[in-house]
Amino acid sequence: MPTPSTRISGIIPSGKDGWEVHFEAYTRKQAGEAITMLSVGDHDFDTPSETVEACVREVRAGHHHYTNLPGIPRLRRAMAAVSAESTGVPTTADQVLATPGGQSALFAAVTATLDPGSHAIVVAPYYATYPGTFRAVGAGFTVVETHAEDGFQPDAAAIEKAIEPNTRAILINSPNNPTGAIYTRESLEKLADICIRHDLWLLSDEVYWSITGGREHISPRALPGMEERTLVINSMSKSHGMTGWRIGWLTGPEPMISLLINLNLVTTYGLPDFVSRAATEALENRYGVDDIAARYAARRTIFLDALAGANDIVVRGSEGGMYIMLDISAVDPDCEAFAWALLDTEKIAVMPGSSFGDAASGHIRISLTQPDDILRDAAIRLKRFVGGYKRDAA
């Protein structure tokens, strides 16, 4: 075969990708072992039935054809309305680009702001696809860590220090995957100040905007001077329980969104027609949104209540999203060894924090993607495991 491009070969350099514990657990589960999977960020429940019924209706009604490149007009209007709600900034349909999932919106944002050879800053811990997304467009990036003891809030001074002459963008994610941290207004104001002074784009991944455990979601897009330099990544995967439907969107200044329609032209050529129509109905009627948010808030409480009294475990971040981040460094500073031992002993699969960068090492990420009773039981077993772990090591 002729040589593949350097660009495609370089997206995921070979070697460890951090998913080893998860895939081993998955394989064992497939083989019949009773493994409790707390390692994956996908809902354990189906898409709300109203959305499913809407899709069946639309496909039966003959909506099988090409759609407008940036999304059908009603879908864009519905997305704009949700962006107005989630970011607190009035938003029009032409400030929105519909994409197949949040990941595509992220790719669009990175493509639109970075040239090959440009530089970006990414705040860690971060969602696992971020480095590959920068590499896919040939851009360099610097990882700036947050600190567990600050609740994983971004460190503005460290971010400013990482700026280089060719830096064009900063990428953040709040509520955060993997830490569950929700960035405070003060943290976001400091980031906004840096973006304005250095004339940078802020790429704000807000796919968990609705899952905040009742806390306020603050979008940096709403801060003074930021609307013109913020691109918000959004998705129906988490908020509307639609991971497999692949619907997301990017919100930003109209001239940038206009340019990005050309990216849809050469990549997706629009979204599936009947899926777009069902998604529109789900957005307009908030199908599942409040229920899903309430479900994760309740699960967080159930898990943490059942874990109470595990003195060697410290909860960090863990305010929103679908995740809980536990500092287990007092039990074992090697979080990967801890995760393997937890899998072998208690048959519970979690993600080692180190899979999300050094900032989260010494931690494990718990995905709250199991029913209440399974989560309660897993927390009790984790507590028991930690007690025994220390004794064995002594």
Residues that bind ligand PLP in the complex, under the rule CB under 6 A = 41, 101-103, 106, 127, 173, 177, 205, 207, 235, 237, 243, 248
- Residue 67 burial (C-beta neighbours within 10 Å; 0-12, 13-18, 19+): buried
Cβ at position 42, least distance to ligand PLP in Å: 8
Q: Least CB distance from residue 237 to ligand PLP, whole Å?
A: 4
Residue 169: what are its φ and ψ, rounded to 5°?
A: -155, 155
Minimum CB separation from ligand PLP for residue 103, in Å? 4
Q: Which is nearer to ligand PLP, 146 or 173 (CB)?
A: 173
Helices H / strands E in the chain, number of each: 13, 13
Shortest separation between residue 220's beta carbon and ligand PLP, angstroms:
15
Residue whose token pair is 């208690």: 346
From CA 367, how far away is CA 177, in angstroms rounded?
Answer: 10
Which of 370, 335, 368, 337 has its CA nearest to residue 352? 335
User: What single letter denotes the amino acid at residue 316?
Assistant: R
**Least distance to ligand PLP from the beta carbon of 244, Å?**
9
User: What is the side-by-side strand order in the sheet with 363-367?
Assistant: 314-316, 323-327, 363-367, 351-352
The nearer residue to ligand PLP, 249 or 389, going by C-beta atoms, is: 249
> Minimum distance from CB of 226 to ligand PLP (Å)?
20
Q: By C-beta, is 310 or 350 nearer to ligand PLP?
A: 350
d(CA 148, CA 298): 24
Sign of the CA dihedral with 284 first, then 286, 106, and 65 last? negative
Nearer to ligand PLP, 80 or 331 (CB): 80
- Closer to ligand PLP at the Cβ: 239 or 361? 239
Nearer to ligand PLP, 313 or 324 (CB): 324
